């Protein structure tokens, strides 16, 4: 099976797994039970008219449309690497921190921004400019800052910045877009037939290493998706769009760009706030980012609910004086994440796993 | 009314059939076409009469409205129309001299109908409901002392002829069907003597109004097309369709009327009439509204409705059939309702309506307004009865009913999910054949049947309620998943217990299967009680050898799915039909059905007794399942205003709860006192002894001959003194499992047999195969079959 991410499945990334499961379960439950309206944040009328400030707390916890759901879950899945980088508990702490900052900041930006825009419009309308003053009324009105798309868009944006900062690029590759190079670079013709030229692994590694050592903000630490995906003309190619230089991060940039523009201005607002929060975090300017760590019970509850349950019942048994097993330190499972490794596959081949579906089908087979 | 299964089937098929978009029926013959043409002229003319009428000029030449009540009393004929001339000086007024309504009725109506309008100048005044879509339940009583004189409405001649042809063809069709297949089709009856709907209404009973508002005319899809001027928009009245269901208290007689009318939002008054080819109630309705202002509003709305349906030329034949059939088969009914004021302002009611339809989280009052009908009066001119409400009728708006149903189904979904979890957790624990053989397959079958029935009912309900489709579909999916898991488990259980086929429960209780020839061998075996006589090795048919090819697995699965599914479909029809039965039948059915499907622990109790096991399931599963299955019953029986409209019935709940607790108690006693506490031990057969003492005589009967041969050959080696001294010979036999030798002591004679000898290291199966104890016990964890000949083995 093809492996999309450097990490096999959800091995040793319990927080990512829980977040993906929770995102799915909450979205389905919200759709089935028709609770979508509890997750919408709009300044007018919810805050201004009804005073429903609890929406600031809820709006990040569920996406309410399918495309957002798909993109969000894909990105959470990609960010497993970040969980390995931070460690699970730290990763959860960072997520919770981002949730808090994004929720509050986004709300502040929206409400103050809306006031500011209205003030500007009022100001302009008082300027007695013949054309514009007519178009703008002095009355308070709803602006583009009124509504934000529900879902953890801000958190994902902040994590995206972290991803660009902390996760090194492991390889680069080029996509030839035009066939003109064939005459120019005849020595590479065998690669160009495939349309994709893989640079030599050593060269890539060297490049990655040098960029990382320099610590300079190069393409990979530059979070702007446009720049890293954008075509770079190489000396060998005369045409502007003759080839694309891409990294192994390019799918994250692509998915994130889709998420950013998925709902127009309403998704750009939380994303931009998220990017700012992320930037503050990586430059250690976010208050509490170093010291805050999520309480252990909550961490256990989210990372492995079943273990949390047995831990809880164990405690209860301890109180009641009954039998309780000796607690053993849980060892992280040994996983070989190497894509090339065939270790696991060999064992699997001997006892083929029957998925639930085929088990059912086998039952009905005569 | 009781229904047989056949008619139920037909109803269900009809429902399915009608839910498909129908290609409209086309007229068959020239005569039909003529009638349709005549009908169109008839409708166009009536529409024009309405369009030209004003309040003072009276009904005009409308079918059904030609005679006033006084004219009717005097015995005039409708053909004498016009009997009165109206002008500015002599206007039409609401009294029985000119009007259809008798004075007794109109005077009564004038005192309460539309008398309390909302004060529009005061913004804080409580308003009437705006959107009345909902239902309302109340009681009626018939006014007997002032029984008005019957009208005789005459159907026009072409329609009469058409009706005769139409009913004749229907009759022929039925008869043809009856002659082809007399068993499955009811015998057709000429419905000359059939009573009209409404003629059998009793003195007192209940009445159910299902009100469906068509919305403001400028918002309605069909009506808004006809609006050209802003004056055509009506902001304070809506057209409504009301389905009236009138039943007597035991629900033996049920009459249904489809009526059409107008709801005035400022006065909270509602008027509806039936429409048929002999009584164009909706055309005359504007004149029955008691004021010129109401008349103008009503005339505008009714004209728009009639125009929009006139342009709809697709279903002419259906409409004709409906108009004519109704005119002959049901009473006409004019009904007046006066709603009660709510305690909310108009804006609040608007907010509530909007929020419940498209929720965005507006703050709305917690208690929702109800549809309350203060006064009601239903008058049938041609059947001559007047029904009156004796107390306010109450009901919920359908948006609120839906909201409550959604929350109810959410809870039900939770129950289903917990049940699913219990299934999975329990099935994960029950894995070995020993555990599986203790589980009663009937118990599982009953549980699975309940789930299947529930999922079918929910699925059926999901198809008729659009608003709740998503959650109902979700419940169905979960129920079906639970059901499939259960069926898989059931198949596993049945496969484990496959070796019990052909064995009576008596033998099962004994635990063995070698007792049939005891009497025959009694003479040869004087000490019968210590060792049951051996029989021939293959006396029991080897069950699994029934036939290669078809596995038990597939056969059981197919059997369960086929029978289970058909049983639950049939039961679903039965349940769906039972909801329309009369009250007493319904009650009996309820008790019977609930007690039956809640008897799921009894089979387990019996099974425990047979297998002599104290417990098959965990208490978590037993208690959880029982409680979860009682909860829906708790809801429908003990919540007085539950959304399923099931009456308050604590007795039913109590009886079923007691029934389930009794079963739980029996299971509990079994775990405490032993599975067979309720059976005297003397009646019980003895369990099979796997470690019998053997004598030479036993070996001669039934055991493989090579054992005896082995002894004989060894007899030479062993000194006879040794044998004589102990009375035992040590006989080596090969264990078929580990292929090593097992030594069994064999008594030389019957008398020596009861002497204590270590005999626990070998086991002898009922089919006379000998193994090491560990070998066979290990094997028996996997399968209760003899490893050599596959005969079933009694559990240890």
> Hey, of B355, B360, B361, which one would you mutate to test binding to chain A, going by the most A CBs within 10 A of its CB?
B361
Kindly report the nearest CA distance between residue A52 and chain B, in angstroms: 9
Q: How far apart are the first and last CA of chain B?
A: 57
Tally of CA atoms within 13 A in the half-sphere of B684 that contains its CB: 19
More confident residue, B434 or B260: B260
Closest among B106, B50, B48, B59 to B83, alpha carbons compared: B59
Contact A33 B361 (CB under 8 A): no
pLDDT per residue as tens digits for the range A173-184: 888 887 655 554
**Closest chain A CA to residue B359:** A37
Dihedral (CA of B283, B288, B293, B294) sign: negative
Q: Are B450 and B630 in contact (CB under 8 A)?
A: no
pLDDT above 80 (res B50):
yes
Q: Which residue has the higher pLDDT, B279 or A3?
A: B279
* Cβ contacts of A32 on chain B, cutoff 8 Å: 413, 470-471, 474
Average pLDDT estimate for B768-779: 85
pLDDT in tens, B656-673: 999 999 999 999 999 998
Lowest mean pLDDT among A99-108, A122-131, B458-467: A122-131
| pLDDT at position A201 over 50 | no
Q: pLDDT tens digits for B439-449? A: 999 999 999 99
Q: What's the pLDDT at A79? A: 94
Model pLDDT, residue B24: 53
Average pLDDT over residues B250-261: 89
Distance (Å, rounded) from C-alpha A45 to C-alpha B474? 33
The CA angle B111-B117-B121, to the nearest 5 degrees, is 150
* Token code pair at residue B153: 């409405």
Which of A31, A40, A365 is the closest to B360 by Cβ? A40
Chain A closest CA to B109's CA: distance in Å? 44
**Residue among A37, A45, A364 whose CB faces B359 most closely:** A37
Query: Residue B72: pLDDT above 90?
Result: no
A33 in contact with B, Cβ within 8 Å = yes
DSSP string, A30-51: HHHHT-GGGG-EEIIIIITTT-
Q: Please judge whether A366 and B362 are an interchain contact, meaning their C-beta atoms are less than 8 angstroms apart.
A: no
Q: Which residues contact B517 (CB under 8 A, 6 or more apart)?
A: B533, B535, B539
Q: Which residues of B touch A25 (CB under 8 A)?
A: none
Chain B touched by A76 (CB under 8 Å): no
Minimal C-alpha gap between A87 and chain B (Å): 32
Give the whole-angstrom CA distance, residue B428 versus residue B622: 15
In chain B, the residue whose alpha carbon lies closest to the alpha carbon of A31 is B470
Q: Which two tokens stand for residue A144?
A: 């583009």
Question: What is the least distance, in Å, from the CA of B464 to any CA of chain A?
Answer: 18
CA angle A76, A77, A82 (to 5 degrees): 75
Mean pLDDT of B402-425: 93
Residue of B351, B356, B360 to mutate when probing chain A, most A C-beta within 10 A:
B360
CA distance A45 to chain B (A): 9
pLDDT top residue among A210 and A312? A312
Q: What is the mean pLDDT of chain B?
A: 82
Q: How many angstroms separate the CA of residue B471 from the nearest CA in chain A?
A: 5
Confidence band of A339 (pLDDT split at 50, 70, 90) = low
Which one of A33, A40, A44, A365 would you mutate to disrupt binding with B, by most B Cβ within 10 Å of its Cβ? A33
Q: Does A366 touch chain B (CB under 8 A)?
A: yes
> What pLDDT does A234 receive?
46
Distance CA A76, CA A91 (A): 12
Return the higher-pLDDT residue of A158 and B782: A158
Percent of residues, chain B, with pLDDT higher than 90: 24
Q: Answer yes or no: do A32 and B470 touch at CB < 8 A.
A: yes
Rounded Cα–Cα distance for residues A201 and B407 (Å): 59
CB contacts of B561 in chain A (<8 Å) are 364
Chain B: residues touching A (Cβ < 8 Å): 359-363, 406, 410, 413, 470-471, 474, 484, 488, 491, 550-551, 553-555, 557-558, 561
Q: What is the pLDDT of residue A333?
A: 61
Higher pLDDT: B18 or B403? It is B403
Residues 6 or more apart from B102 whose CB is under 8 A from it? B69, B96, B146, B148
Interchain pair B359, A34: CB under 8 A: yes
Which chain A residue has its CA at the smallest distance from B555's CA? A366
pLDDT of residue B517: 36
- The listed range with the strongest mean pLDDT (A23-27, B35-39, B144-148) is A23-27
- The model's confidence at residue A231, banded by pLDDT at 50, 70 and 90, is very low
| Residue B489 to residue A165: CA distance in whole angstroms | 52
Confidence of residue B143 (pLDDT cuts 50, 70, 90): confident
Q: Which residues 36-65 in chain A show a CB within 8 A of chain B?
A: 37-38, 40, 45-46, 50, 52, 55
Query: What residue in B sits closest to A44 (Cα-Cα)?
Result: B362
* Per-residue pLDDT tens digits for B335-344: 999 999 888 8
Contact B56, B84 (CB under 8 A): no
pLDDT confidence bin for A139, thresholds 50/70/90: confident
CB contact under 8 A, A32 and B471: yes
- B491 contacts on A by Cβ (under 8 Å): 363
Q: With contact defined as beta carbons under 8 Å apart, do B120 and B266 qualify? A: yes
> Rounded CA gap, B664 and B657, in Å?
10
**CB of A306 within 8 Å of any CB in chain B?**
no
- Per-range mean pLDDT, top range of B222-231, B436-445, B540-549: B436-445
Measured between beta carbons, the chain B residues lying within 8 angstroms of A360 are 484, 488
User: What is the pLDDT confidence band of residue B63, given thresholds at 50, 70 and 90?
Assistant: confident
Of A123-132, B528-537, B637-646, B782-791, minimum mean pLDDT range: B528-537
Write the residue in B361, B363, B551 that is nearest to A38 by C-beta: B361
Alpha-carbon Rg of chain B, whole angstroms? 40
Residue of chain B nearest A359, judged by CA positions: B488
The pLDDT value recorded for residue B536 is: 37
SS3 category, B694: strand
Mutate to test the interface with B, among A28, A32, A46, A357 (most CBs of B within 10 A): A32
User: Inter-chain contact A32–B474, Cβ cutoff 8 Å?
Assistant: yes
- The distance of B285 to chain A (nearest Cα, Å) reads 41
Q: For residue B785, give the 3-state DSSP assignment.
A: strand
Contacts of A34 in chain B (CB under 8 A): 359, 406, 470-471
Residue of A48, A363, A365 to mutate for B, most B C-beta atoms under 10 A: A363
More confidently predicted of B519 and B89:
B89
Distance from CA of B386 to the nearest CA of A (A): 45
pLDDT-derived band of residue A321, with 50, 70 and 90 as boundaries? low
**Which residue in A has a C-alpha nearest to residue B488's C-alpha?**
A363
- The confidence score (pLDDT) of residue A226 equals 42
Tell me whether residues B361 and A34 touch, CB distance under 8 A: no
Question: In this predicted model, which residue has the larger pLDDT, A287 or B714?
Answer: A287
Inter-chain Cβ pairs, chain A and chain B, closer than 8 A:
43
- Whether the CB-CB separation of B324 and B166 falls below 8 Å is answered with yes
B407-423 mean pLDDT: 94
pLDDT higher than 80, residue A347: no
Identify the closest residue of chain B to A30 by CA–CA distance.
B471
- Nearest residue, CB atoms, A37 vs list B361, B410, B557: B361
> Nearest-CA distance from B553 to chain A in Å?
7
Residues A50, B363: C-beta atoms closer than 8 Å: yes
Pairing of strands B694-695, B741-747: parallel
Q: Chain B partners of A52 at a C-beta cutoff of 8 Å?
A: 361, 363
* pLDDT: which is higher, B328 or B794: B328
**C-alpha–C-alpha distance, residues A330 and B676, integer Å:** 46
- Name the least confident of A337-351, B248-262, B544-558, B747-761: A337-351
pLDDT for the residue numbered B795: 66
- pLDDT per position as a tens digit, B582-594: 888 999 999 999 9
For residue B360, give the nearest of A32, A37, A364 by CB distance. Answer: A37
Asked if B491 and A366 come within 8 Å (Cβ–Cβ), the reply is no
- Report the pLDDT value the prediction gives residue B533, as an integer from 0 to 100: 37
Please provide residue B509's backbone torsions phi and psi, each rounded to the nearest 5 degrees: -65, -35
Cα→Cα distances B610→B613, B616, B674, Å: 8, 12, 12
Question: pLDDT band at B554, cuts 50/70/90?
Answer: confident
Going by C-beta distance under 8 Å and a sequence separation of 6 or more, which residues neighbour residue A194? Answer: none
Confidence label for B550 from pLDDT (cuts 50, 70 and 90): low
């Amino acid at each position: 099976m093809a492996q999309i991410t450097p990490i096999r499945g959800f091995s040793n990334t319990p927080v990512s797994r829980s977040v993906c499961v929770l995102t799915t379960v909450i979205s389905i439950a919200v759709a089935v039970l028709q609770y979508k309206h509890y997750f919408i944040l709009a300044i007018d009328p919810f805050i201004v008219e009804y005073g429903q400030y609890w929406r600031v707390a809820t709006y990040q916890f569920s996406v309410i449309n399918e495309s957002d759901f798909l993109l969000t879950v894909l990105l959470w899945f990609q960010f497993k690497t970040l969980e390995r980088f931070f460690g699970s508990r730290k990763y959860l702490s960072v997520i919770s921190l981002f949730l808090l900052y994004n929720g509050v900041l986004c709300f502040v930006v929206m409400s103050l921004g809306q006031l500011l825009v209205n003030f500007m419009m009022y100001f302009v309308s008082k300027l007695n400019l013949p054309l514009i003053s007519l178009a703008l009324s002095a009355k308070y009105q709803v602006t583009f800052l009124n509504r934000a798309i529900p879902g953890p868009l801000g958190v994902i944006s902040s994590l995206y910045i972290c991803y660009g900062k902390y996760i090194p690029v492991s390889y680069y590759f080029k996509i030839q877009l035009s066939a003109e190079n064939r005459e120019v670079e005849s020595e590479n013709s065998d690669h160009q037939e495939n349309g994709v030229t893989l640079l030599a692994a050593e060269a890539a590694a060297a490049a990655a290493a040098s960029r990382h050592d320099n610590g300079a903000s190069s393409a990979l630490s530059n979070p702007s998706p446009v720049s890293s995906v954008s075509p770079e003309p190489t000396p060998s190619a005369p045409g502007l769009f003759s080839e694309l230089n891409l990294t192994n991060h390019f799918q994250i940039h692509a998915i994130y760009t889709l998420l950013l523009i998925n709902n127009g201005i309403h998704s750009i607002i939380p994303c931009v706030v998220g990017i700012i929060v992320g930037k503050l975090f990586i430059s250690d300017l976010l208050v509490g980012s170093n010291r805050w760590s999520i309480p252990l019970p909550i961490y256990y509850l989210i990372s492995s609910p079943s273990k949390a349950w047995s831990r809880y019942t164990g405690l209860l048994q301890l109180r009641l004086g009954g039998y309780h097993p000796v607690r053993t330190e849980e060892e992280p499972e040994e996983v070989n994440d190497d894509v090339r490794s065939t270790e696991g596959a060999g064992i699997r081949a001997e006892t083929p796993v029957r998925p639930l579906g085929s088990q059912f089908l086998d039952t009905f087979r005569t | 009314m009781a229904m047989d299964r056949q008619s139920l089937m037909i109803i269900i098929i009809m429902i399915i059939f009608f839910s498909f978009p129908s290609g409209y029926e086309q007229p068959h013959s020239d005569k039909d076409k003529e009638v349709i043409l005549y009908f169109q002229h008839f409708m166009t003319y009536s529409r024009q009469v309405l369009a030209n009428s004003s309040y003072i000029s009276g009904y005009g030449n409308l079918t059904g409205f030609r005679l006033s009540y006084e004219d009717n009393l005097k015995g005039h004929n409708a053909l004498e129309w016009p009997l009165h001339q109206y002008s500015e000086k002599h206007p039409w007024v609401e009294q029985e001299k000119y009007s259809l309504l008798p004075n007794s009725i109109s005077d009564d109506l004038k005192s309460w109908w539309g008398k309390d309008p909302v004060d529009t100048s005061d913004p804080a005044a409580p308003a009437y409901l705006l959107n009345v879509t909902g239902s309302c339940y109340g009681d009626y009583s018939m006014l007997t002392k002032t029984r008005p004189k019957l009208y005789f409405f005459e159907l026009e001649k072409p329609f009469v002829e058409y009706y005769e042809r139409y009913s004749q063809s229907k009759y022929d069709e039925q008869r043809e069907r009856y002659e082809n297949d007399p068993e499955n089709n009811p015998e057709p009856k000429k419905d000359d003597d059939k009573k009209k709907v409404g003629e059998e209404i009793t003195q007192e009973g209940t009445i159910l109004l299902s009100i469906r508002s068509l919305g403001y005319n400028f918002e309605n899809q069909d009506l808004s097309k006809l609006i050209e001027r802003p004056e055509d928009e009506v902001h304070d009245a809506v057209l409504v369709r009301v389905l009236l269901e009138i039943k007597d208290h035991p629900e033996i007689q049920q009459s249904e009327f489809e009526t059409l009318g107008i709801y005035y939002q400022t006065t909270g008054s509602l008027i509806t009439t039936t429409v048929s080819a002999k009584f164009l109630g909706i055309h005359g309705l504007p004149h029955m509204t008691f004021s010129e202002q109401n008349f103008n509003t009503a005339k505008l709305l009714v004209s728009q409705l009639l125009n929009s349906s006139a342009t709809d030329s697709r279903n002419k034949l259906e409409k004709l059939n409906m108009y004519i059939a109704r005119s002959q088969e049901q009473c006409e009914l004019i009904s007046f309702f006066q709603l009660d004021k709510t305690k909310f302002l108009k804006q609040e009611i608007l907010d509530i309506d909007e929020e419940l339809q498209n929720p965005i989280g507006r703050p709305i009052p917690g208690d929702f307004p109800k549809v309350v009908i203060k006064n009601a009066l239903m008058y049938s001119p041609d059947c001559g009865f007047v029904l009156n409400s004796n107390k306010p009728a109450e009901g919920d708006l359908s948006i609120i009913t839906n909201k409550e149903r959604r929350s109810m189904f959410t809870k039900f979904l939770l129950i289903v999910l917990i049940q699913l979890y219990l299934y999975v957790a329990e099935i994960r624990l029950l894995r070995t054949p020993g555990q599986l053989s203790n589980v009663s397959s009937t118990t599982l079958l009953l549980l699975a049947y309940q789930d299947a029935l529930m999922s079918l009912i929910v699925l059926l309900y999901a198809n008729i309620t659009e608003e709740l489709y998503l959650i109902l579909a979700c419940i169905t999916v979960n129920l079906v998943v639970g059901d499939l898991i259960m069926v898989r488990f059931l198949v596993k259980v049945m496969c484990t217990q496959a070796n019990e086929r052909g064995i009576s429960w008596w033998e099962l209780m004994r635990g063995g299967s070698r007792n049939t020839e005891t009497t025959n061998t009694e003479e040869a075996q004087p000490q019968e009680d210590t060792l049951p006589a051996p029989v021939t090795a293959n006396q029991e048919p080897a069950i699994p050898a029934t036939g290669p090819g078809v596995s038990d697995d597939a056969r059981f699965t197919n059997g369960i799915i086929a029978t289970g599914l058909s049983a639950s479909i049939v039961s679903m029809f039965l349940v769906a039909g039972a909801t329309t039965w009369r009250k007493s039948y319904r009650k009996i059915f309820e008790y019977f059905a609930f007690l039956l499907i809640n008897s799921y622990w009894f089979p387990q109790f019996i099974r425990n007794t047979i297998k002599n096991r104290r417990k098959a399931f965990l208490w978590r599963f037993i208690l959880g399942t029982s409680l979860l299955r009682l909860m829906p019953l708790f809801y429908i029986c003990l919540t007085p205003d539950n959304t399923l409209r099931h009456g308050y019935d604590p007795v039913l709940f109590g009886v079923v709860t007691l029934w389930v607790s009794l079963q739980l108690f029996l299971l509990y006693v079994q775990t405490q006192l032993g599975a067979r506490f309720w059976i005297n031990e003397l009646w019980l057969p003895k369990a099979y002894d796997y470690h019998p003492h053997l004598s030479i005589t036993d070996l001669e009967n039934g055991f493989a001959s090579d054992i005896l041969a082995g002894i004989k050959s060894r007899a030479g080696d062993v000194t006879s003194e040794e044998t004589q001294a102990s009375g035992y010979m040590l006989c080596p036999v090969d264990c078929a499992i580990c292929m090593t030798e097992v030594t069994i002591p064999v008594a030389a004679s019957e008398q020596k047999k009861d002497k204590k000898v270590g005999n626990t290291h070998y086991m002898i199966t009922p089919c006379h195969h000998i193994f090491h104890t560990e070998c066979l016990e290990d094997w028996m964890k996997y399968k209760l079959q003899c490893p050599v000949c596959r005969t079933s083995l009694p559990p240890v």
